[in-house]
Amino acid sequence: MIQEVPYTQYAEEVVHQLPKGAFLTTKKGEEINTMAIGWGTLGVIWNRPIFTVAVRYSRHTYDLLKGATEFTVSIPLEGNPHIKKALGFSGTHSGREVNKFEECQITAVPGQKVEVPIIGECELHYECKIVYRQAMEPALVEEAINQRFYQGNNDYHVIYYGEIVACYLKK
| Domain CATH number, residue 112 | 2.30.110.10
> Residue 57 is part of which domain span?
2-170
Q: Which helix (H) or strand (E) holds 82?
A: helix 81-92
pLDDT band for 152, please (50, 70, 90 cuts). confident
Decide: 91 and 103 in contact? Cβ < 8 Å. Answer: no
- For residues 91-111, b (16+ Cβ closer than 10 Å) or e, as one string? eebebeeeebbeebebebbeb
This prediction's pTM: 0.95
State pLDDT tens for residues 69-100: 999 999 999 888 899 999 998 988 888 888 99
Domain count, the chain: 1
**Mean pLDDT, rounded, for 120-128:** 97
Q: State the pLDDT at residue 31.
A: 92
Q: What mean pLDDT is reported for the chain?
A: 94
Is the C-alpha dihedral spanning 75, 12, 158, 145 positive or negative?
negative
